[in-house]
Amino acid sequence: MTRAAFIRNSLAMGIGFPFLTNFISACGRDEFQVPEFQTDFSGKVIVIGAGAAGLAAGYLLQRYNVDFQIIEASSVFGGRVKRADNFVDFPIDLGAEWIHASPAILAEIIDDPGINANIDFITYNPQTFKAWNGEKWTNHNYASNFYSEYKFKNTTWYGFFEKYIAPELLDKIVYNQPVVKIDYSGNQVILQTEDNNFYEADKVIITAPVKVLQSNIITFLPELPTTMSSAINSISMDDGLKVFIEFEEKFYPDLFVVGRFLQSLSGDDKIFYDAAFRKDSTRNVLGLFTINSQAAPYIALGSDQAIFEKIMEELDEMFEGKASQHYIQHVVQNWSKEPYIKGSYSYNFENNQEDTVNTITAGLEDKVFFAGEGLSIDNQATVQGACESGYTAVEKILT
């Protein structure tokens, strides 16, 4: 059961019990352990993608002194972990933003008892909730009593990777190398990039987003087995959009939705939220997070400017012109438009999730392996899930 489904059911029941409350925690966080093992592996590994899963895989390969390289299609590392540094006086997560677990998960990802550092976080427990039905607002502040997560206070997910995971990997990452062909027919796996560069390795970990795999940007030789391609195509990953707008004053609640409140939280999300909530800042930043069918109409508009204007139009209607009146600046992050990402995150599985994930993570002829947020059963669609799957793929290769 998803967290949203659990909340709906709990509310319907009207009464909770301690075990149910433990269960809600379990919906948000599952056991996460960096694998420890013995290995005699002496070959070379190439990781395709320098997102959270790829960086985590590199982090573990480094720990076991394995010869490896990370081939990244874009010019930066992070993937869907991305930061806007100079927008306001605190860094903004343009991609993954919430810590969908206890902040202790950050220590578990790093798994380094020798590290001497702390990270500040906020309890993201908005106090004012509203829903706009097209004509009027309804209050849903009761939600402050059961919805709570965590966010970074002074840094971002990107900042976390930049400081604690990436430093040892920077000289291992090769940028601007979109892989277009993976030949695993021989003893070695040969990768061909868009620029006709070739890379060879004994094992390869593919961490490209599901949507990239589905779009056949990368061809395989031999072709992917039908079971594998069917499994990949059975995971849905659709549009994703984040927009941040700075205003002179805060005229909006901590969190608001358009449409029915609980349905909006649990379905295809479109959530406006105070992005400066409990941050060390006096600036007023409204965030819009929207995915799937809710994001599609915006994405269809094409340009970032058209998307921004549509959102301002909506806000002005909701807040009687205050959006235009107090507007200062904005930033649009259209994830669907990112050529090597193409959407938000894995969302739904046509078939049994565990079977699908097991089919894909079984890999190809013990030479090509897969990782990514969509391939974590316990922490799917989260940064820690991406890291977990990266670690698992490395463990498979080295043991």
Partner 1 sequence: MNKNPIVDEYLEKKMKSPFYLIVFLCFLTNLPLKGQNTKMPVSIGYFAPYGVQYGAKAGISIPWKNWESDRKEDQIRSYNLTLDPQIGYFVFPEVQNNFFLNMELAIRSHKNEKRFSPMASAGLGYLLGLQKQEGSVNLATGEIDFETTALHYFVPTVSLGFNIKPKKSMGYYFKGFFGRKIIRGLEGSTIIGAEAGITFNINQKN
Residues in touch with partner 1 (CB under 8 A)? 7, 10-11, 13-18, 20-21, 24-25, 102-104, 106-108, 110, 112-123, 125, 127-128, 139, 141-142, 144-146, 148, 153, 164, 278
Amino acid at 167: P
| Least distance to partner 1, CB of residue 154, Å | 10
Nearer to partner 1 (CB atom), residue 28 or residue 79: 28
Nearer to partner 1 (CB atom), residue 142 or residue 198: 142
User: What is the H or E stretch that residue 70 is in?
Assistant: strand 67-71
Strands lying side by side in the sheet with 173-174 = 173-174, 67-71, 44-48, 203-206, 368-370
Nearer to partner 1 (CB atom), residue 162 or residue 239: 162
| Least distance to partner 1, CB of residue 141, Å | 4
- Return d(Cα 79, Cα 204) in angstroms, integer: 18
- Return d(Cα 266, Cα 126) in angstroms, integer: 17
Is residue 41 packed enough to be buried (19+ CB in 10 Å), middle (13-18) or exposed (0-12)? middle
94: alpha, beta or left? (left if phi > 0; alpha if psi -120 to 50): alpha
- Return d(Cα 198, Cα 16) in angstroms, integer: 58
| Least distance to partner 1, CB of residue 302, Å | 38
| Least distance to partner 1, CB of residue 132, Å | 16
| Least distance to partner 1, CB of residue 87, Å | 22
Which residues, in sequence order, are CB contacts of 264 under 8 Å at separation 6+? 131, 257, 258, 270, 271
Nearer to partner 1 (CB atom), residue 27 or residue 258: 27
Between helix 304-318 and helix 292-299 the angle, nearest 10°, is 110
Nearer to partner 1 (CB atom), residue 181 or residue 278: 278
- Return d(Cα 256, Cα 262) in angstroms, integer: 11
| Least distance to partner 1, CB of residue 150, Å | 9
Q: Are 364 and 370 in contact (CB under 8 A)?
A: no
Which residues, in sequence order, are CB contacts of 367 under 8 Å at separation 6+? 184, 189, 202, 203, 204
- Return d(Cα 399, Cα 48) in angstroms, integer: 20
| Least distance to partner 1, CB of residue 269, Å | 20
Nearer to partner 1 (CB atom), residue 119 or residue 377: 119
Nearer to partner 1 (CB atom), residue 130 or residue 242: 130
Calculate the CA 226 to chain-centre distance: 27
Nearer to partner 1 (CB atom), residue 14 or residue 134: 14
| Least distance to partner 1, CB of residue 21, Å | 5
